Amino acid sequence: MVINDVRFDVFPDEVVALVGESGSGKSVTAKAIMRLLPAHLNIHTSGQLELSKPSGEVVDLLTASSRTIEQIRGKDMTMIFQESMRALNPARYHWCCSLAPAA
């Protein structure tokens, strides 16, 4: 078992940072919550994992469809990966976007 007995209570307008030693499970925990871990891993989850959206809707992240999770990511929950200076550097991704008008 890699991670055991994790609990977060995050309230509206709060930002949470996972801080710990290298290898302590920060990235695995965040990726598991956001369902970003590879599908071939044997992941056992129990308990509750709920997201209260600004609209008041509560989403059970353990049973939500992949489509629902994709709609939530980046809008209602997000993750800044460990190499944030590279991840947040717009100059690094100059090739990804075009400013030309659509045809």
**Digit-coded pLDDT (tens) for 40-66:** 887 777 788 888 888 889 999 989 999
Supply the range of the domain harboring residue 47.
Answer: 26-81
Which of 26-35, 37-46, 63-72, 89-98 holds the top average pLDDT? 63-72
Predicted TM-score (pTM) above 0.85 = no
- Among residues 52, 51, 25, 20, the alpha carbon closest in space to that of 37 is found at 25
Tell me, yes or no, whether 62 lies in a domain.
yes
Tell me, yes or no, whether 38 lies in a domain.
yes
pLDDT reported for residue 85: 62
Tell me, yes or no, whether 95 lies in a domain.
no
Tell me, yes or no, whether 51 lies in a domain.
yes
Domains in the chain, number: 1
Q: What is the mean pLDDT of the chain?
A: 78
Tell me, yes or no, whether 12 lies in a domain.
no
Tell me, yes or no, whether 73 lies in a domain.
yes
Tell me, yes or no, whether 15 lies in a domain.
no
Mean pLDDT within 75-92: 69
